[in-house]
């Protein structure tokens, strides 16, 4: 117990806000979406509730940033450590209705804590859901949170008095990426940014789904799972055409989009993509701490979707390969450190005005984020689940976020959508999957 006290006593009462924190916070204050990410894990066994509660309690020491709230006081922006009574506990969900409602609960990063965990028990086994504030981390950050929680849970089985070492000094800012980039690369990255800006405004308008206005009182996640047999055929097709799985998914998305919403043939078939910068620029593929460490790229077919899937895939593969050869994901990320120099109210106005301007210009590309493979070891609670997937944050229309994740040999596609757009999004998701080869 003395060791536990000493470790906890060494945790600071506040942590500095970094560039990613300011960017996400300004988006929250601009009111452009719901910034909570989820991971669902479906088990064929029952989890030890007491051990799970203990593991949840300890993760707030292992990763202290999770047990904080974001504080904004004029120019002073920081993370403040919560009292342990404010950390919350395990949410025991009694039926499917409670579980579905819990999925749509958003975390308030200003009150904290930055994660919530729910458990739903059925005769077939337990379903575990971990919710994380996007304010504290992205999809890669949620992977790290899940890994930490499962590690603590599993270790407690054999070491009931285990106390994790607090991660107090782990890097959370984008500087951990920029430190890997030579100064000589900056002119190239700036040139890439200029080229990207031109491409994103030619054609000026972007074709999107005609989504209805967001209804906060009535929304849900839509899910599609591509089974292992189909996944194997899709991967084989990609390899045959020297394309990645992501290239194939981008192509199917853009081809489906071209068939929806009465495309006039003059607006761009353009898609915003995320890049996990950990995987591209960090030797360990892991950030120093729980954080947002993603960049953006774009796929732009202009006004020509291609005569068939092969021609679309060929163009998408070529443009993505070109970008991967020149500081992939950094064209806009290189500007991130500048947000620390801007007064926070100005940053919020900049984000708000930028979003409004793009909406007026009808140039708001949909976002496709691929969080990649979920390693079985990070979701193992005594045993790995037989199914797992992520659910994305929500950006209000005209924005639209789709998330791809994979576990085992199954690909999952998820989106958050409100009631008046249910039918439209169902058709779109089915059309996207029908466009996939195999």
Are 321 and 204 within one domain? yes
User: Is residue 152 located within the same domain as residue 205?
Assistant: no
Report field, pTM of the whole predicted structure over 0.85: yes
In whole numbers, what is the pLDDT of the chain averaged over residues?
Answer: 96
pLDDT > 80? residue 252: yes
Same domain, 429 and 308: yes
The reply to whether 166 falls in a domain is no
370 - beta bridge partners? 404
205 and 151 housed in the same domain: no
Instruction: Return the pLDDT at 5.
Output: 54
Say if residue 4's pLDDT is above 90: no
Is 167 within the bounds of a domain?
Answer: no
**How far, in Å, CA of 234 to CA of 237, rounded?**
5
Domain harbouring 237, CATH code: 3.30.559.30
pLDDT in tens, 397-427: 999 999 999 999 999 999 999 999 999 999 9
Q: Percentage of the chain with pLDDT > 90?
A: 95
84 part of a folded domain: yes
Q: How big is the CA angle at 332 (ends 329 and 335), to the nearest 5 degrees?
A: 130
User: Does the pLDDT at position 8 exceed 80?
Assistant: no
Question: pLDDT for 25-62, tens place per residue?
Answer: 999 999 999 999 999 999 999 999 999 999 999 999 99
Q: Which of 133, 158, 183 is the last residue of a domain?
A: 158
Segments forming the whole domain that contains residue 344: 175-435
- Give 309-365 pLDDT, tens digit per residue: 999 999 999 999 999 999 999 999 878 888 989 999 999 999 999 999 999 999 999
Residue 239, domain member (yes or no): yes
Task: Examine the domain organization and report whether 144 and 179 are in the same domain.
Answer: no
- What are the pLDDT digits (tens) for 219-237? 999 999 999 999 999 999 9
Q: Which of 158, 186, 202 is the last residue of a domain?
A: 158
The residue-averaged pLDDT of 185-197 equals: 96
Domain match, 132 and 255 both: no
Domain contains 319: yes
Q: Are 73 and 222 part of one and the same domain? A: no
* Same domain, residue pair 236 and 354: yes
The CATH number covering residue 94 comes to: 3.30.559.10
195 in the same domain as 141: no
- In total, how many domains does the chain have? 2
The pLDDT of 152-177, averaged and rounded, is 97
């Amino acid at each position: 117990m003395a060791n536990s006290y000493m470790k906890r006593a060494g945790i600071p009462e506040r942590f500095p806000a970094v560039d990613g924190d300011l960017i996400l916070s300004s988006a929250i204050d601009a009111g452009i979406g719901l910034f909570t990410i989820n991971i669902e894990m479906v088990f064929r066994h029952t989890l030890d509730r007491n051990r799970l509660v203990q593991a949840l309690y300890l993760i707030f020491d292992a990763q202290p940033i999770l047990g904080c709230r974001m504080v904004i006081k004029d120019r002073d922006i920081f993370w403040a450590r919560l009292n342990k009574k404010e950390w919350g506990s395990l949410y025991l969900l009694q039926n499917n209705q409670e579980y579905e409602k819990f999925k749509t609960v958003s975390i308030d990063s200003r009150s904290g804590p930055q994660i919530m965990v729910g458990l739903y028990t059925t005769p077939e086994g337990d379903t575990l859901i971990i919710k994380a504030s996007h304010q504290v981390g992205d999809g890669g950050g949620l992977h790290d949170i899940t890994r930490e929680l499962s590690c603590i849970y599993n270790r407690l089985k054999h070491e009931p008095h285990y106390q994790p070492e607090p991660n107090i000094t782990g890097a959370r800012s984008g500087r951990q990426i920029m430190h890997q980039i030579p100064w000589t690369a900056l002119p190239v990255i700036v040139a890439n940014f200029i080229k990207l800006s031109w491409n994103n405004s030619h054609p000026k308008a972007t074709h999107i789904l005609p989504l209805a206005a967001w209804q906060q009182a009535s929304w849900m996640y839509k899910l599609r799972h591509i089974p292992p047999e189909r996944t194997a055929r899709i991967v084989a097709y990609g390899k045959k055409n020297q394309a990645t799985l992501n290239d194939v998914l981008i192509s199917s998305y853009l081809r489906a989009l071209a068939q929806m919403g009465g495309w006039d043939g003059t607006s761009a078939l353009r898609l915003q993509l995320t890049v996990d910068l950990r995987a591209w620029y960090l030797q360990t593929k892991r950030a120093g701490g729980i954080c947002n460490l993603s960049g953006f790229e774009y796929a732009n077919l202009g006004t020509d979707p291609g005569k068939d899937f092969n021609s679309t895939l060929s163009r998408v593969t070529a443009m993505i390969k070109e970008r991967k050869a020149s500081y992939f994901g950094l064209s806009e990320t290189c500007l991130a450190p500048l947000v620390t120099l801007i007064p926070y109210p100005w940053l919020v106005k900049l984000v708000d005005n930028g979003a409004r301007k793009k909406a007026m210009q009808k140039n708001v590309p949909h976002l496709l984020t691929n969080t990649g493979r979920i390693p079985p070891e990070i979701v193992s609670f005594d045993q790995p689940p037989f199914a797992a997937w992520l659910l994305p944050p929500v950006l209000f229309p005209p924005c639209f976020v789709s998330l791809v994740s994979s576990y085992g040999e199954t690909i999952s596609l998820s989106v958050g959508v409100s009631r008046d757009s249910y039918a439209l999004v169902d058709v779109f998701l089915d059309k996207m999957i029908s466009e996939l080869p195999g």
